[in-house]
């Protein structure tokens, strides 16, 4: 189940970036579950990772290897290699070594990523056996297969492809991601991989990614859970004929905006695919005193099980939204200044139910698949948006049966 039409787009090749997939049979044998991404030798690479204290073994290894000009990414689905202690760390390192052996590279030039069930040993022997096939299939045209290979409970593959023009030359930006549950990113999504053929330094690339992630993946939530394995990677092959992008260049803002656009589209796709989701909810907080305040109010509403179940039931129980705003921890909130809307229907004004609100008007909005909740705090000029979905019977069923 997903909200809205979510067809996988046509993905333009990114020069200098090759992708290969294979089926290792880690948890299932129906589709590929191994992805190898190879970057051109001159490529730069940036990444952000989960802030969960129990971060997975591959996260530790990828963080360390990021400083060694990585050339390859090794991703597996079906097993998170998280909560696996020292053995998990050794398994992640061994996986990197096995790939390095096949491609004749250095162990520390491989960044490993895993997603799936927590607490189970990584079947390194299965991954090792599948690596030659994945390498054999390396191609610039495998974005669709790559998006499928990283899926777990996702109901559809998620991808975005964008071309921008800088100094008369084209720059391609592609992105794929996976995620449907355990989504309340505190850096990125569960897994996201973005590639471009632009020329840009690692430092500038890292700045672009950090800013884009904060305004996209860090503004979504399905269930309020931050994964042990969250990671988002931005690769730049440098194969475009466009001039190098520097921070003092007029082209930097254009490039950064394009990266943000790709991240926002991928983030929205994750919410549309929220486990059991039937509605996409945009929560826009306006007139906040600062960004952090607006995000806090938005996420308090988005995380409320009572709010989320009301949306699933299409029940205009506006009191639940009011209560969430009230408990968001905003000091000295002037209740008479607060306004709350369902789409363009005002439900709260002057400290209580809006005089002109009718249950019929609220019901018409709640019956939609996509709804915007707007909260005007009357405290300043900051505006932020948080995306979430409803909480359905299927969410409980999917997660209750996740390991069976």
Q: Which two tokens stand for residue 202?
A: 């690692």
Mean pLDDT computed over every residue of the chain: 94
Residues 6+ apart with CB under 8 A from 401: none
pLDDT in tens, 189-209: 469 999 999 999 999 999 999
**For position 228, what pLDDT does the model report?**
78
- Do residues 157 and 147 make contact, with C-beta atoms less than 8 angstroms apart? yes
* Residue-level length of the chain: 404
Active site annotation includes 189: yes
Q: Which two tokens stand for residue 190?
A: 């569960």
Check pLDDT > 80 for residue 392. Answer: yes
The percentage of residues in the chain with a pLDDT greater than 70, rounded to a whole number, is 96
pLDDT in tens, 61-114: 999 999 999 999 999 999 999 999 999 999 999 999 999 999 999 999 999 999
CA distance 259 to 119: 34
Query: Torsion angle of alpha carbons 153, 154, 156, 162, nearest 10°?
Result: -150
Q: What superfamily does domain 280-400 belong to in CATH?
A: ArgJ beta chain, C-terminal domain (3.10.20.340)
Check pLDDT > 90 for residue 224. Answer: no
Block residue for tokens 């909560």: 83
Range with the poorest average pLDDT among 118-122, 178-182, 362-366, 376-380? 178-182
For residues 171-186, give the mean pLDDT.
82
- Do residues 200 and 161 make contact, with C-beta atoms less than 8 angstroms apart? no
Q: Strand order in 44-49's β-sheet?
A: 44-49, 231-236, 191-196, 169-178, 158-166
The domain locations on the chain are 17-272, 280-400
CATH of region 17-272, choose from 3.60.70.12, 3.30.110.30, 1.10.8.60, 3.40.630.30: 3.60.70.12
User: Going by DSSP bridges, is the β-strand pair 34-39/17-22 parallel, antiparallel, or unpaired?
Assistant: antiparallel
**For position 189, what pLDDT does the model report?**
47
**For position 151, what pLDDT does the model report?**
94
Of 189, 196, 300, 388, the catalytic one is: 189
For residues 281-308, give the mean pLDDT.
97
CA distance 48 to 216: 13
Range with the poorest average pLDDT among 179-193, 272-286, 342-356? 179-193
CA distance 279 to 363: 14
Residues 6+ apart with CB under 8 A from 171: 163, 164, 165, 196, 197, 198, 240, 242, 255, 258
Q: Which two tokens stand for residue 27?
A: 């948890």
- Ramachandran angles phi, psi of 281, nearest 5°: -115, 120
**For position 137, what pLDDT does the model report?**
98
- Ramachandran angles phi, psi of 251, nearest 5°: -85, -15
pLDDT in tens, 255-265: 999 999 999 99
3-class secondary structure per residue, the chain:
CCCCCCCCCCCCCCCCEEEEEECCCCCCCCCCCEEEEEECCCCEEEEEECCCCCCCHHHHHHHHHHHHCCCEEEEEEEECCCCCHHHHHHHHHHHHHHHHHHHCCCHHHEEEEEEEECCCCCCHHHHHHHHHHHHHCCECCCHHHHHHHCCCCCCCCEEEEEEEEECCEEEEEEEEEECCCCCCCCCCCCEEEEEECCCECHHHHHHHHHHHHHCCHHHECCCCCCCCCCEEEEEECCCCCCCCECCCCCCHHHHHHHHHHHHHHHHHHHHHCCCCCCCEEEEEEEEECCHHHHHHHHHHHHHCHHHHHHHHCCCCCHHHHHHHHHCCCCCCCCHHHCEEEECCEEEEECCEECCCCCHHHHHHHHCCCEEEEEEECCCCCEEEEEEEECCCHHHHHHHHCCCC
Check pLDDT > 50 for residue 188. Answer: no
CA distance 113 to 99: 13
pLDDT in tens, 320-352: 999 999 999 999 999 999 999 999 999 999 999
pLDDT in tens, 352-375: 999 999 999 999 999 999 999 999
Block residue for tokens 């590929």: 32
């Amino acid at each position: 189940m997903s909200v809205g039409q979510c067809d996988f787009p046509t993905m333009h090749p990114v020069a200098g970036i090759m992708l290969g997939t294979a089926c290792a049979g880690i948890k299932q044998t129906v589709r590929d579950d191994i992805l190898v991404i190879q970057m051109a030798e001159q490529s730069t690479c940036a990444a952000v990772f989960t802030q969960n204290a129990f971060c997975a073994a591959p996260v530790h290894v990828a963080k360390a290897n990021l400083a060694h000009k990585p050339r390859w990414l090794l991703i597996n689905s079906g097993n998170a290699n998280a909560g696996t202690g020292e053995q998990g760390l050794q398994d992640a390192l061994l996986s990197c070594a096995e790939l390095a052996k096949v491609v004749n590279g250095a162990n520390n030039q491989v960044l490993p990523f895993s997603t799936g069930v927590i607490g189970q040993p990584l079947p390194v022997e299965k991954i090792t056996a599948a690596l030659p096939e994945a390498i054999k299939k390396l191609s610039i045209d495998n974005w669709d297969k790559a998006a499928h290979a990283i899926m777990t409970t996702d109901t559809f593959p998620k991808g975005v492809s964008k071309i921008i023009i800088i100094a008369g030359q084209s720059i391609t930006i592609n992105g794929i991601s996976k995620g449907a549950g355990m989504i309340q990113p505190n850096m990125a999504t569960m897994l996201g991989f973005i590639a471009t053929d632009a020329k840009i330094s690692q430092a500038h690339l890292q700045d672009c990614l950090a800013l884009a992630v904060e305004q996209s993946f860090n503004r979504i939530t399905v269930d309020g859970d931050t994964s042990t394995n969250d990671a988002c990677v931005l690769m730049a092959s440098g194969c475009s004929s466009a001039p190098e992008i520097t921070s003092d260049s007029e082209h930097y803002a254009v490039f950064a905006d394009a990266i943000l656009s790709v991240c926002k589209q991928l983030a929205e796709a994750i919410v549309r695919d929220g486990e059991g989701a039937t509605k996409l909810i945009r929560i826009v907080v306006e007139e906040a005193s600062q960004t952090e305040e607006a995000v806090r109010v938005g996420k308090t509403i988005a995380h409320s099980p009572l709010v989320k179940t009301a949306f699933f039931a299409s029940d205009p129980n506006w009191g639940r939204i009011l209560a969430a705003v009230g408990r968001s921890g905003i000091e000295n909130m002037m209740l008479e200044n607060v306004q709350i809307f369902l789409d363009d229907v005002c439900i709260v004004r002057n400290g209580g139910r809006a005089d002109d609100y009718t249950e019929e008007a609220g019901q018409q909005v709640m019956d939609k698949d996509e709804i915007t909740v707007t909260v005007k705090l009357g405290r300043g000029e900051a505006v932020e948006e948080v995306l979430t979905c409803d909480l359905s019977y299927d969410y409980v069923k999917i997660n209750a049966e996740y390991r069976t």
